[in-house]
Amino acid sequence: MKLFAGIAMLLVLSTAGYAADVDGTWSGSIQGPAGDINLIFKFKADGATLTGTTLGFDGAEVAIKDGKIEGTNISWTVTFDFGGMAFTIAYKGVVSPDQIKVSGDAMGMPFDFLLKKSK
């Protein structure tokens, strides 16, 4: 019984210690009213903190804020300047070696997309 408990504890600790490998450039697309919108995120992990950039509506880089990494789960926000008005989108993702399944929320409207790691 002690052996089983020891093995179970080891598995829990090793899983909890795993951090998502998100460093690098990730791209994907989401379907919009006028067609597909290409997305590019550049992520950098620093312990449990996620930083990086994405491209704004004008093509300029916009900083990722409030980024967190918890195992294979990541979350972050991006605030875009939309004609002088701040427009914040909250994202959550689950990281696997070659893709991130992302869900987002823009003003109460949920959406989902996949990001693939760029080579």
22-55 pLDDT per residue, tens: 999 999 999 888 889 899 999 999 999 999 999 9
Mean pLDDT of the region 50-64: 92
CB atoms within 10 A of CB 5: 9
Burial of 43 by CB count in 10 Å (0-12 exposed, 13-18 middle, 19+ buried)?
buried
pLDDT recorded at residue 57: 78
- Give CA–CA dist 79/9, Å, rounded: 41
Task: State the pTM of this model.
Answer: 0.80
Instruction: Name the architecture of domain 20-117.
Output: Beta Barrel (2.40)
DSSP secondary structure letter of residue 7? H
Structure token digits, residue 118: 């760029």
Which among 111, 89, 113, 90 has a CA at the least distance from the CA of 101? 113
Domain ranges in the chain are 20-117
Average pLDDT, whole number, for the chain?
A: 85
In this prediction, residue 61 carries a pLDDT of 94
